[in-house]
Amino acid sequence: MNTEAPYLDSLNPEQKAAVLQTDGPVMIIAGAGSGKTRVLTYRIAHLIASGVDAFNILSLTFTNKAAKEMRNRIESVAGPEARNIWMGTFHSVFAKILRIEAHKIGYQSNFTIYDSDDSKSLIKAIVKEMNLDDKIYKPNFVLSRISNAKNNLIQAHVYKKNAELVSYDETTGRGKIFEIYQEYANRCFKASAMDFDDLLLNTFKLLNNFPEVLNKYQHKFKYVMVDEYQDTNHCQYMIVKKLASVFENICVVGDDAQSIYSFRGATIRNILNFEIDYPDLKVFKLEQNYRSSETIVSAANSVIAKNKDQLEKKVWTANDSGEKIKVLRAVTDNEEGKLIAQDIFETKMTAQKMNSDFAILYRTNSQSRSMEEALRKLNVPYRIYGGLSFYQRKEIKDLIAYLRIVINPSDEQALKRIINYPARGIGNTSMQRVAVLASETGQSHWEIVSNAHQYPELKAAIAKFRDFVNMIKSFAILVPTQNAYDLAMHIARSVKLLKVLNEDKTVEGVSKYENMVELLNGIKEFAEDDTNESEKDLGSYLQDIALLTDADRVDDDNDHVSLMTIHQSKGLEYKKVYVTGLEENLFPSQMSLGSRSDLEEERRLFYVAITRAEEDLVLSFATSRFRFGTLLPCEPSRFIDEIDPEFLQLERRSTLTSTKQTLGNIDRRSSDMNPPSGLRKTIAKQNQPKMIRPPASSNFEAESMHDIAEGMQVEHQRFGTGTVTKLEGNAAPEKATINFTDFGEKTLVLKFAKLKKV
């Protein structure tokens, strides 16, 4: 083969060796930032340059974007012949095969592909037809069970014979799932429709049940390449193994340290055990990181070294050492958002950075709330990736709609949104009649609904309308006497929004429930923020939140800070990255602490987060976080301890002051500190927040504003004891600046502060 191609000159020795090894089984272990895409591109280009017919090359990726970028890059090297490569995602390539071969398994070639909404809608209809409880057989949960079965090659007629699966379903009170699965499969087949999992399962069925089809594609795809191999599930593994079994010219590329999708059915064993299937395997390790500073690379290595299940490698870089990784401690999650937004603002000014140089990563979508609010208040443009802005998510809009209609019953959009959610038997037909009557009479929808007994057209729904109106009026009575949080929590519980979301235990359902809790946490922060001069009632909160979500303020410019979950950040890179919420039970997730394999996946997720950063990395945590209106203490994540302390620098900042320390000087009283386990111990000694729940015997009453004076020792419910350093006001003091022992200086509005003399 010709090895003098000019494109080979840009490769390092290990990259070049991987490109030139075109025949036989090959595994390329590509560390973070090691130029994996370049190797994939040049390897395929080299195959074509060496005389391999592009039609005989199969290249499987995990995103359409990656496939498109790779094809364009290959074409720039190998010319238009690159257009003939079978390249795309597993689903797109297999759908192409199924269009050709579907008749063999009884499908039409023009079969429909159902998206998740189609699937859920069908499952919902089946559950209803079977007279099953849709609160038990939720579409999300049922679809998740069916998807998991398909990914493990368990078809509907086999599912019911699997004692373990059926036993689990019966134990959870869902013993009819196998019947739903069977009916779902029948209805899809009758409609000539496949869901996304069917595209994989039916391809396997074709190859497994029809030898002539298997033989055809085995000889067509003489060279098979699979990107992100660590993210494949069992079904994908079996298909790839079958296709490559004749020539065994199979090349898989991946990084076991970045295997983070087990919740989607991916299994790390596919890459860890690859050599078992191919004993004559040639392994190439791309260990030079071109992306990150030496400090970041070394820190990432020190973390991932704690995992037992991994392929041996040592990622290194020739880049400069760079800045130490900053560890940012915040008092609450709300302050965490403020500190990060403030740091972005300051860094932009001092280092001349673009907004697009920054990314904020979090473990769960619900954490974006405090980040969004803080960025908006500093007018820093941002964009949420992989999901809607926090306040645009359905579950958030649902509760806010209830709050809006309590304040303003004439709010037509809010009324239409929640009048039958959660379901209370008021259907579309009734609401269409309400809309007609409102148009004819010139009245608001609320007025029509409130007087439904006057309209014969609404006779069937009179009682249901009356109950709804009475419920909203009962909430409105409480507006003058309750703060925003107390009333919002009362409404959320009364209308059963929390209950409905809490009963859905799927990944999506848990996320929605967490988002709802996070919204209530934000309202609690608003109601108890002494530095906020506005009133604490519901109307003031809605005005405040309306300014944050004003659609006219959406910035369409590409220069924005990126916000996303760590899962969504995989494959991306930024100059400066903030990894937030590094607290036990949040990251690592509480659900991951039951087994070593789950904890190791969380550690791999942390590794992915660290390695997104090119120049600067900030790790942040809160020492307390709101949950159901109570400020609960938080312990810093074990993952911080797992980074070699020589790479860390603790930032002692607040929204008012900022100081820095290296870890060696965090606490001079603690001479016996022995990192890495010492960081959490040291932090635990320092600045622990006073809980906002005072002892039962305490009675915090506001002192007379005329009695307070500079130099006075006072006590605050949340910030503890402190000394008054400054008073502001005209006839009488209105604000006080207080230097708190544990929290530093805070400026409080005396009207709301409820200070107590010590």
Tell me the one-letter amino acid at 350.
T
Per-residue burial over 227-236, b = 16 or more CB atoms within 10 Å of its CB, e = otherwise: bbbbbbbbbb
Contact 179, 130 (CB under 8 A): yes
Catalytic residue among 183, 195, 198, 227: 227
Q: Is 24 helix (H, G, I), strand (E, B) or coil?
A: coil
Catalytic residue among 176, 404, 604, 612: 612
CA nearest to 375, candidates 347, 339, 350: 339
- 228 given a catalytic annotation: yes
Tokens of 86: 């079978």
Q: How far is CA 156 from CA 256, 605, 681, in A?
A: 32, 33, 52
Q: Is 548 helix (H, G, I), strand (E, B) or coil?
A: helix
- 258 given a catalytic annotation: yes
Helix residue spans in 21-112 (DSSP H): 36-49, 64-78, 90-101
Catalytic residue among 36, 369, 404, 625: 36
Catalytic residue among 22, 37, 506, 725: 37
Catalytic residue among 198, 228, 615, 616: 228
Q: Which residues pair with 624 in a beta bridge?
A: 633
Tokens of 186: 């029948």
- 230 given a catalytic annotation: no
Cα dihedral angle (12, 17, 19, 22), rounded to 10 degrees? Answer: 180
CA 549 to chain centre: 20
Task: Annotate 448-472 with three-state secondary structure.
Answer: HHHCHHHCHHHHHHHHHHHHHHHHH
Q: How far is CA 268 from CA 4, 226, 261, 489, 650, in A?
A: 37, 15, 9, 42, 34
Catalytic residue among 61, 258, 342, 565: 258
Burial of residue 262, with CB atoms counted within 10 A of its CB: 0-12 exposed, 13-18 middle, 19 or more buried: middle
Give the full edge-to-edge strand order of the sheet including 223-226.
Answer: 86-89, 57-61, 223-226, 250-254, 26-30, 282-286
Which residues have a catalytic role annotated? 36-37, 227-228, 258, 612
